[in-house]
Homo-oligomer: A and B are copies of this chain.
Amino acid sequence: MPTIQDVARDAGVSTATVSRVFSAPDLVLEGTRQKVMEAVARLGYEPNFAAKSLRTLRTEKILVTVPDISNPFFSRVIRGVEEAAHAAGYSVLLGDTRHQEEREEQYATMLRRKEADGLIFLGHRLPDTLADMVAAMGPRTPIVNGCEFAPDLGVASAHIDNTAAAQEVMDHLYGLGHVRVGVITGPLASPLSADRLAGVRAAAERHGQADALQVITGDFTIESGLLQATELLARPLRPTAIFCFSDEMAMGALEAIRRAGLVCPRDVSLVGFDDIRFAEYLAPQLTTVSQPMDAIGHEVVRLLLDILKGRATTLQQVTLPHRLVVRASTAAPPAA
């Protein structure tokens, strides 16, 4: 592998000039630039990344951690992140934490070792060591949270208004005439689930149906949707509608409905959350809350770059628009 020295020698200039050709071409005479570029082409020179990074203290890399990359919601957000990062000349270091705190800490270490310029995390936990960093650096900490909204972490974030979205779902169901509504939440440790549940409760109270709510906790997976919906459907006062906090759980719930010998939406209405690509290809097509997954990905990158470029002075927490997409899985409850 040729180095900048080799190029300099070959082009008959100093290494400083070669370096300038890349980083500040307008400081170099056109003829000299040509000579250097020819030498570069001739030798097949590529600047060594580690050397550059050591000198500049920049890596042009963004570390992105995600609880589970095989989840279509997250993988779509990641795609948006990758797209925006790539457009800005950054590349993406992927960390799949598998919901494990230990792994989150390990990835946090990478940030402290300067293996990446910043961190985007899509979970809801901020590793302790990074919390210290936030305390020290304030709104200039190069850490951004996506999807969740945990104001007390003190990091920039991009997310939807989960509370409002959940309320809209409930309004839709109550509007159709449902009374007994089952709700399968995600783990309540995540603010995202807590917010949605708050929205559910607020709407229920507004409609005077708080007592008819049947809340049960899931973990966002298909299997837990199947399990919890089965449980809900076996109750004597079976809900006529089920609201799942993820489309995956709704897929499981749909299977539970079928196994119970019921038909969606005739017997039981079903609502999901996220609007992953598969939601509209289920039978029946799934009513769900559409999250702007691409936009969230782009936005978290924008927020992080603002911080890295020193453009951010205050803490930015951005709420992006969601949309209730009513499809075929919700209808009026059975006449009873």
Contacts and interface: CB of A to CB of B under 8 A. Distances in A.
18 contacts: A48-B54, A49-B113, A49-B114, A54-B54, A64-B94, A69-B69, A69-B75, A69-B79, A70-B277, A71-B75, A82-B94, A82-B96, A91-B95, A222-B278, A222-B281, A251-B278, A282-B282, A283-B283
A54 B71 CA distance: 36
A336 interface: no
Q: Taking the full assembly, how many copies of this chain does it contain?
A: 2
A105 to B, nearest CB: 13
Interface residues of A, number: 51
A198 B301 CA distance: 44
A139 B46 CA distance: 23
A78 interface: yes
Interface string A244-268: 0000000110110010000000000
Interface of A: 1, 46-51, 53-54, 57, 59, 61, 64, 68-72, 75-76, 78-79, 82-83, 86, 91-96, 98, 103, 106, 109-110, 112-115, 222, 251-252, 254-255, 258, 277-278, 281-283
Contacts of A61: 93
A50 B46 contact: no
A88 to B, nearest CB: 13
Contacts of A78: 69-70, 94
Nearest to A283: B283
A224 to B, nearest CB: 13
A41 to B, nearest CB: 13
A299 to B, nearest CB: 17
The 3 closest A-B pairs by CB, nearest first: A50-B53, A50-B54, A75-B75
Contacts of A86: 96, 103, 106
Contacts of A255: 281
Nearest to A72: B72
B95 A93 contact: no
